[in-house]
Amino acid sequence: MFHHRASIVRSFVAVALAVTTVHAAQAGRVSVAVAANFTAPMQKIAAAFEADTGHQAELSFGATGKFYAQITHGAPFQVLLSADDTTAARLEKEGKAIARTRFTYAIGTLVLWSAQPGYVDAQGAVLRTGDFKHLAIANPKLAPYGAAAVQVMDKLGVAGAVQPRLVQGENIAQTFQFVSTGNAQLGFVALSQVMADGKIRAGSAWQVPASLHDPIRQEAVLLSPGKDSAAAAALLTYLRSGKAQAILQSYGYSF
């Protein structure tokens, strides 16, 4: 009886090891260029993606415009998660991305935010009345959230008045850093940077109405180096899963 049970145990262990070996053999890595505004949710999605599929997503964060330049000069990214709905199409047209693989993975929300509680009012009137020295925005030539901020200021008629007080971050992550450290009293950032579990984490914020700027549709696309990558294809599929969408919503994105 003992030998029989030992044999069963050995067989079970052998099967478990075989399954683990197959899973490891099938797992791959995918190199992903990620728009800076999507840093926090993508870190969570990547962890869930690895747990569920075995594939690893190697993430690089930055400005969409900068990634475009790197990709056109041969950077070996396999997937791009941009902050706009034009860069992926441009790369596709130029033969740097695979046709018919791009889709909107998230719609972003712009907020005017200050690290100081009570500083930004619910209507954003602080832009006209606030005694602030610096207002931070992302570089509008590189970052879609920066371009949206410029549109908002133009529509509100405050662009001229605040121009001398503007400070620009290279991307939305650096812009957030300016505001969070107090080097700028307030700034236009992504809602995802200041929200967790559906609530503003700290400070004060005005959620900018979508009518004041073009929609921030963020597109994903499979890049040419990822054409034959099972991990890249799996990640693009995973981004549309219920689990990934739940994470998106918790950071203030829609889709």
Note the pLDDT of residue 130.
77
With respect to residue 191, please indicate whether it lies within any of the assigned structural domains.
yes
Give me the domain span that covers residue 85.
2-107+216-250
Q: Is the pTM for the entire model greater than 0.85? A: no
Note the pLDDT of residue 21.
36
Note the pLDDT of residue 148.
96
Residues 133, 81, single domain; the answer is: no
Residues 60, 118, single domain; the answer is: no
Q: In whole angstroms, give the CA distance from residue 44 to residue 39.
A: 9
- The CATH number for 231's domain is 3.40.190.10
Q: In what order do the strands lie in the sheet with 166-169?
A: 166-169, 135-138, 186-190, 110-114, 204-207
User: Under DSSP, is residue 58 helix (H, G, I), strand (E, B) or coil?
Assistant: strand
Residues 9, 89, single domain; the answer is: yes
Residues 220, 178, single domain; the answer is: no
Note the pLDDT of residue 23.
45
User: Exposed (0-12), middle (13-18) or buried (19+): which is 255, by Cβ within 10 Å?
Assistant: middle
Q: pLDDT tens digits for the chain (255 residues)?
A: 544 444 433 443 343 333 333 344 468 999 999 999 999 999 999 999 999 999 999 999 998 999 999 999 999 999 999 999 999 999 999 999 999 999 999 999 999 999 999 999 999 999 998 789 999 999 999 888 999 999 999 999 999 999 999 999 999 999 999 999 999 999 999 999 999 888 898 999 999 999 999 999 999 999 999 999 999 999 999 999 999 999 999 999 998
User: Under DSSP, is residue 157 helix (H, G, I), strand (E, B) or coil?
Assistant: coil
Structurally, the chain folds into a number of domains equal to 2
